[in-house]
Structure 1
């Protein structure tokens, strides 16, 4: 390790920095402090320039981000394989009746709901890269097994196991983004992997269109879809095991100096990296924190329409009077709108540094689209208008990753972060369980009950966002008062939300100290107990 005295311009350490010295960190490490503190302890405080940040961030993006994108794309494809299979005879061939098809959509989320407590614990205790790789492999194998499911009971069993294996993926991805990226970078990265839903609705539709034309004497078209997606997932799990690191401290693609930079640039996130120590006081705070339940309610409210539309979307389009193959092709623009809304919403939220305002804006198009589907007559003359309403509704996927990012960026403490994410996914899973049951094939073509319910839920989300904005503002005022009482400045600059380019133009280092901020960053302290933590709205 080279120091400033050795002539290193881009990275320098203060060898006798009192805060990060090994002696000062011993009590923190003994109490289960963040693992990043152990690496920094031997080097002292590291100062990182904007050039350091850009260089290391590029390497992180080139390794971590492609893995997240590909894996989530496959997870989305595996989930939506059921909806594609529905237009290729799955319902008829397996003799599904009543709400049995709806239950096949819901059972995945029942499994995810049941698994969330265990997932939260494992995300703290088990190295993240290895955990993700194993779960990806398992769900690929299970999807292949769906080829042999020829009855409602067999399909329910395999779909439950699929949901159990997939339960860890999205919570793990949120943990990965928290572990590797500054707060100003997290929204776009979370949106990037979540935007794979839109990619799947485009490429998945084309893929399914092609696979559906394969004629086999032994396999139905939907069985070929299951087998192809499952085998592809198994292959990707091998690459994940090879290239996905467990943390910045253990990343083989980074040099020792780059590991220090990767950690230090996260200091003013005030969130730490990973402790791998389960703390029950963090768990208690997560359950008692009002923010947790506001975000839980938002995610449940948005997941109900998401679960219903993702399961019944192709059937809704088919109800406009299209055949199976045309229905699949008309689902492609739905995915394109999803992609634009998800990435566009994240870009705008990052630009203005406010997620709540963008969330409010994203609620408006789905409301308009739902009203169109409710009031326009379902006949061939109005198919263009009905499709337009359906496509407008597809803006809704942009809402979910912003809620995840809003929560992730306002929660500190390793155990608390994982538990909070688990609680949120319980809400999301519950919403996805309920969603498909608001629609029923017998209610085609209007699906009035589902559309009315979804309209009410989007209005509810608007109210919850306003409550969240108000509560976050109150918490910031409380922390400002605590800082004043401790002799610190009431108003501080949140460097973690500054863009690297603007910091470089002002000549600031990314971890510059402002009134003692960052002292508790790697102590594994929760956000409510850290007076330096700045909440975002």
Structure 2
């Protein structure tokens, strides 16, 4: 460690008080255990080359695992839509209405399981929880291939909704759509068993193998990660404390739950996500059936669906790049990237599927721009909210909306309207327009909060420098004590 360590007697007396340490998160406990002072951490934070090297190391370890996991879960979740293009409905004697409920039932389980899994991850080892659930997910996917009726499919689909998801790496949505299309196109050549069964068996098997890989390489948290030195862990803790949100705290703080429930920002994000996923619930499960109405050939349908993945990659990467490159423009990007969805839904609704097939396909390809808006919205609890329990509660609420929207969406795509699905197109237009209004309201709220904090600040940065604790404070608490430290990202 060299100059990073400092002897116990030199650490400030208040840092060693037993009563204080019990309120610290594990990051602060780690610093005390290794006798690392906040002055040492500041020297590490000031070392720009060391920070860049550490960020690269974190990216190389975590991003491939989490991005791969999200790509696979997107492909796996789309297995139902891919199967419907082939022989799922006829093989299981399923009606279109039952198919809609099959698309929804996954999210009923997710709705119930999300918060308990968040608590389990908070109180135990998150890496183990994620890896175990990826393996369970793949196994259940393979079991689904044995079903021969709607009832059996419904049970398996429900159980698929319970595993904990690894993050919100929506930038892998497009990649998953492309790889899923290519894999399904290849699987569609199989003649020995029903194609839909082969889809579930092969995709499930790949996911189980990936879950075993995650079990070996995914760390549980910063503190227990084996591939980081004490110095690197200290620097990671220091980078986390810049946002005054702490690293991890296993104590459930009820006042933070109450604060999350009265925060207008949380509820705007809740409704934004609900509307967004109502769109997604329809597009994800019926989009390929819309394409099938243009060609009637399953393999051609799968092939024509692949470009949508490329469009999603473009929308997500361009939107998030702009939001990162220009300060306080995230809500603007959220608004602007809803326009292609509005245009795409209008094309699907108004163009003839017989004489304007290219226009209909283009509308289908650009309709996925709404995913970029969701990516930015889902980042806000982590970047704008402080307090571990408040963030966990807010994330759980947003994902409740995520589930509810996906439950609602498929039922607007009525069998008698296939393959145009006029009611579904109208729903997409209504939801995306309402989202645009919410994006504007969110920007107004966050801008107001930032201006209020600017006017309230009286040189509190010196007080922040003197306050070395890593208390698990919420954004409301931090903004009250140190207005300039915690600025809302808008």
TM-score (normalised: structure 2): 0.93
What is the DSSP-based 3-state SS (H/G/I as helix, E as strand, rest coil) of the residue aligned with 1:409?
helix
Kindly indicate whether residue 211 of structure 2 is the aligned counterpart of residue 215 of structure 1.
no
Kindly indicate whether residue 36 of structure 2 is the aligned counterpart of residue 43 of structure 1.
yes
Kindly state the Cα deviation for residue 365 of structure 1 after the two structures are TM-superposed: 0.7
- Residue of 311, 333, 336 corresponding to 1:361: 336
Query: Aligned residue for 2:231?
Result: 257
Query: Aligned residue for 2:157?
Result: 159
Kindly indicate whether residue 414 of structure 2 is the aligned counterpart of residue 440 of structure 1.
yes
Kindly indicate whether residue 251 of structure 2 is the aligned counterpart of residue 298 of structure 1.
no
Describe the shift of the 1:157–1:473 C-alpha distance in structure 2 as closer, same or farther (beyond 3 A). Answer: same
Kindly indicate whether residue 156 of structure 2 is the aligned counterpart of residue 203 of structure 1.
no
- Residue of 454, 460, 468 corresponding to 1:488: 460
CA contact 1:125–1:278 (8 Å) conserved in 2:
no
- Residue of 457, 460, 464 corresponding to 1:516: 464
What is the DSSP-based 3-state SS (H/G/I as helix, E as strand, rest coil) of the residue aligned with 2:242?
helix
Kindly indicate whether residue 27 of structure 2 is the aligned counterpart of residue 30 of structure 1.
no
CA contact 2:14–2:20 (8 Å) conserved in 1:
no
Describe the shift of the 1:236–1:79 C-alpha distance in structure 2 as closer, same or farther (beyond 3 A). Answer: same
What is the DSSP-based 3-state SS (H/G/I as helix, E as strand, rest coil) of the residue aligned with 2:450?
helix
For 2:227 and 2:430, how far apart are their aligned partners in 1?
48
Describe the shift of the 1:229–1:481 C-alpha distance in structure 2 as closer, same or farther (beyond 3 A). Answer: same
Structure 1: gaps spanning 5 or more residues: 4-11, 174-189, 490-513
- Residue of 282, 292, 300 corresponding to 2:256: 282
CA contact 1:269–1:521 (8 Å) conserved in 2:
no
For 1:454 and 1:116, how far apart are their aligned partners in 2?
26
Q: How does 1:136-175 map to 2 (within 5 A)?
A: 136-165=134-163, 168-170=164-166, 173=167
Kindly state the Cα deviation for residue 444 of structure 1 after the two structures are TM-superposed: 1.1
Describe the shift of the 1:474–1:194 C-alpha distance in structure 2 as closer, same or farther (beyond 3 A). Answer: same
- Residue of 58, 72, 75 corresponding to 1:74: 72
Paired residues, number: 477
For 1:387 and 1:55, how far apart are their aligned partners in 2?
44
Kindly state the Cα deviation for residue 477 of structure 1 after the two structures are TM-superposed: 3.5
For 2:10 and 2:443, how far apart are their aligned partners in 1?
38
CA contact 1:268–1:517 (8 Å) conserved in 2:
no
Q: How does 1:242-253 map to 2 (within 5 A)?
A: 242-253=216-227
CA contact 1:338–1:397 (8 Å) conserved in 2:
yes
For 2:13 and 2:406, how far apart are their aligned partners in 1?
48
For 2:348 and 2:195, how far apart are their aligned partners in 1?
31
Query: Aligned residue for 2:438?
Result: 464
CA contact 1:202–1:336 (8 Å) conserved in 2:
yes
For 1:335 and 1:25, how far apart are their aligned partners in 2?
55
Q: How does 1:119-130 map to 2 (within 5 A)?
A: 119-130=117-128
For 1:397 and 1:307, how far apart are their aligned partners in 2?
12
Q: How does 1:341-352 map to 2 (within 5 A)?
A: 341-352=315-326
For 1:517 and 1:101, how far apart are their aligned partners in 2?
58
For 2:2 and 2:104, how far apart are their aligned partners in 1?
56
Kindly state the Cα deviation for residue 519 of structure 1 after the two structures are TM-superposed: 4.0
For 2:360 and 2:224, how far apart are their aligned partners in 1?
52
Larger RCO of the pair (alpha carbons < 8 Å, separation 6+): 1
Describe the shift of the 1:520–1:139 C-alpha distance in structure 2 as closer, same or farther (beyond 3 A). Answer: farther
For 2:287 and 2:389, how far apart are their aligned partners in 1?
37
Query: Aligned residue for 1:402?
Result: 376
For 2:106 and 2:215, how far apart are their aligned partners in 1?
25
The farther-off stretch of 198-207 and 113-122 is 113-122
CA contact 2:385–2:474 (8 Å) conserved in 1:
yes
Describe the shift of the 1:122–1:153 C-alpha distance in structure 2 as closer, same or farther (beyond 3 A). Answer: same
Structure 2: gaps spanning 5 or more residues: none
For 1:339 and 1:420, how far apart are their aligned partners in 2?
27
RMSD: 2.0
